[in-house]
Amino acid sequence: MSEVLAAKVELDEEGFLKNPDDWSEELAAELAKEVGIDELTDLHWKVIHFMRSEFKDRGQAPTIRRIKNSGGVPIKEVYRLFPDGPAKKAARIAGLHKPQGCV
């Protein structure tokens, strides 16, 4: 993460924001690069914004199934967008806490 952004936010030991209100789209792009996603597409942003909205409404990050059912993004697509742990990667990029049930 760039030093400028790192100075503005506090992360836990796994790289998740401690305060989801510190999130910005600029920070999301930096966090994405850290997990191997060089560019966030419109579909990435759809998932990210859905996750943030769900977190705001429900107090926790949505499950992959909820992203599919209510967010309108097929599960296979979520796995393609956020490979090797989509719920965890998407939550991290969205500035949320680590989802329940993720190792």
Q: How confident is the model at residue 4 (pLDDT cuts 50, 70, 90)?
A: very low
Closest CA to 52 of 72, 71, 78, 77: 71
Q: Catalytic residue among 1, 5, 35, 102, which?
A: 102
| Residues in CB range of 87: below 8 A, 6 or more apart | 61, 63, 64, 99, 102
Euclidean distance between CA atoms 8 and 49, whole angstroms? 21
Handedness of CA 42, 47, 48, 50 (dihedral sign): positive
Domain boundaries, the chain: 3-93
* pTM of the entire predicted model: 0.88
Euclidean distance between CA atoms 54 and 13, whole angstroms? 24
3-class SS of residue 11: strand
pLDDT in tens, 33-74: 999 999 999 999 999 999 999 999 998 888 888 898 898 899
Residue 102 annotated as catalytic: yes
pLDDT in tens, 16-31: 999 999 999 999 999 9
Residue 11, strand partner residues:
17
